């Protein structure tokens, strides 16, 4: 059966909800991000149709602050899996990257999802990092220990050097809502804009805390440095104050000290680790006359 891809349209949401319900019943979020995905400059939410016009899959190409591409929300209904739709999406992703001059693309999957990993490898992706997720219910009462001295950082110039310095200690990625942002100074502007960056004026402790989307469902700890217990007390206090039901932290699987601190504060590990795959295409750099004239930063 032939399939073809096209950009998503505003009236596709009901059909895409059914696609997501059938393909990833334990991971459904399209209704919460659909409008954001549609109006994302530089990005594209694509859908796959069969010959009757029925929607059978979707995939999202997203530009991140460092100029790389993040491939997400790849869904194909079970009845149509194994028929080449995933390959069509990857080819569209690569064509979009080439047209925009994007030289690095990344995606994530579960460490045991050999089909997803194999598809990425077919298009030149290799393993970049293994990460582990932790979560805990947020406190229903105010934490016994109060966190004081914390404040949001208000300028990218104050955040950029901290992020750059943390790359060696934390690892290459900062994760919010399973979006794996490369941990570079380019992320500083977005972190300030979204109110994710916090520092303790007394101790210098630092954390990234927030959500790329669906902030009413979970608060994400993207990075913590300094006194780990102090950072986690602050995060729990913020979750309580915001009435968010869940606190999540996804971090390098090798970060044993941070994992021990998470366990001390009631976090539990996710059932399976995650992996990030990446591909580099230096030949996608456009000639100066071909470079886009407008910015393509991701909308969050």
pLDDT at site 147: 83
Dump pLDDT digits (tens) for 33-69: 999 999 999 999 999 999 999 999 999 999 999 999 9
pLDDT at site 290: 46
Q: Which residues pair with 225 in a beta bridge?
A: 206
Identify which has the larger pLDDT, 158 or 293: 158
% pLDDT > 70, the chain = 95
Within a domain: 216: yes
Residues 268 and 286 in one domain: no
Distance CA 175, CA 177 (A): 7
Residues 75 and 164 in one domain: no
Residue 245 is part of a domain; what is its CATH number? 3.40.630.30
Within a domain: 51: yes
- Token digits of residue 190: 């977005």
Dump pLDDT digits (tens) for 175-234: 999 999 999 889 999 999 999 999 999 999 999 999 999 999 999 999 999 999 999 999
Number of compact structural domains in the chain: 2
Residues 98 and 173 in one domain: no
Within a domain: 50: yes
Q: Quick check: helix, strand or coil at residue 2?
A: coil
Residues 145 and 268 in one domain: yes
Residues 65 and 136 in one domain: no
Q: Which of 88, 98, 40, 47 is nearest to 298 (CA)?
A: 40
Residues 139 and 264 in one domain: yes
Residues 254 and 286 in one domain: no
Residues 92 and 145 in one domain: no
Dump pLDDT digits (tens) for 139-181: 888 777 778 899 999 999 999 999 999 988 899 999 999 999 9
Structural domain containing residue 86: 3-103+281-290
pLDDT at site 1: 64
């Amino acid at each position: 059966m032939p399939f073809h891809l096209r950009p998503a349209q505003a009236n596709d949401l009901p059909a895409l909800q059914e696609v997501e319900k059938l393909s990833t019943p334990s991971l459904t979020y399209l209704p919460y991000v659909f409008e954001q995905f549609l109006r994302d400059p530089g990005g594209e939410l694509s859908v796959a149709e069969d010959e009757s016009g029925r929607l059978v899959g979707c995939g999202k190409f997203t530009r991140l602050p460092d100029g790389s591409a993040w491939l997400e929300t790849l869904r194909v209904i079970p009845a149509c899996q194994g028929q080449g739709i995933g390959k069509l999406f990857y080819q569209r992703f690569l064509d979009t990257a080439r047209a925009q001059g994007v030289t690095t693309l990344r995606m994530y999957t579960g460490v045991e999802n050999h089909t997803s990993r194999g598809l990425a490898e077919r298009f030149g992706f290799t393993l970049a990092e293994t990460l582990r997720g932790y979560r805990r219910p947020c406190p229903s009462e105010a934490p016994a220990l109060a966190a004081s001295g914390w404040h949001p950082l208000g300028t990218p110039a104050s955040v950029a050097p901290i992020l750059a310095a943390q790359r060696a200690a934390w690892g290459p990625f900062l994760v919010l809502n399973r979006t794996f942002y490369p941990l570079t100074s380019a992320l500083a502007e977005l972190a300030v804009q979204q109110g994710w960056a916090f520092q303790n004026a007394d101790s210098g402790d630092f954390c990234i805390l927030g959500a790329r989307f669906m902030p009413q469902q979970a608060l994400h700890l993207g990075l913590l440095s300094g006194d780990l217990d102090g950072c986690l007390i602050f995060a729990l206090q913020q979750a309580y104050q915001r009435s968010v039901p869940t606190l999540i932290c996804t971090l390098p699987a090798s970060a044993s000290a941070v994992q021990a601190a998470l366990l001390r504060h009631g976090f539990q590990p996710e059932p399976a680790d995650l992996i990030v795959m990446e591909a580099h295409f230096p030949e996608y750099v456009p000639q100066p006359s071909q470079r886009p004239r407008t910015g393509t930063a991701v909308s969050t």
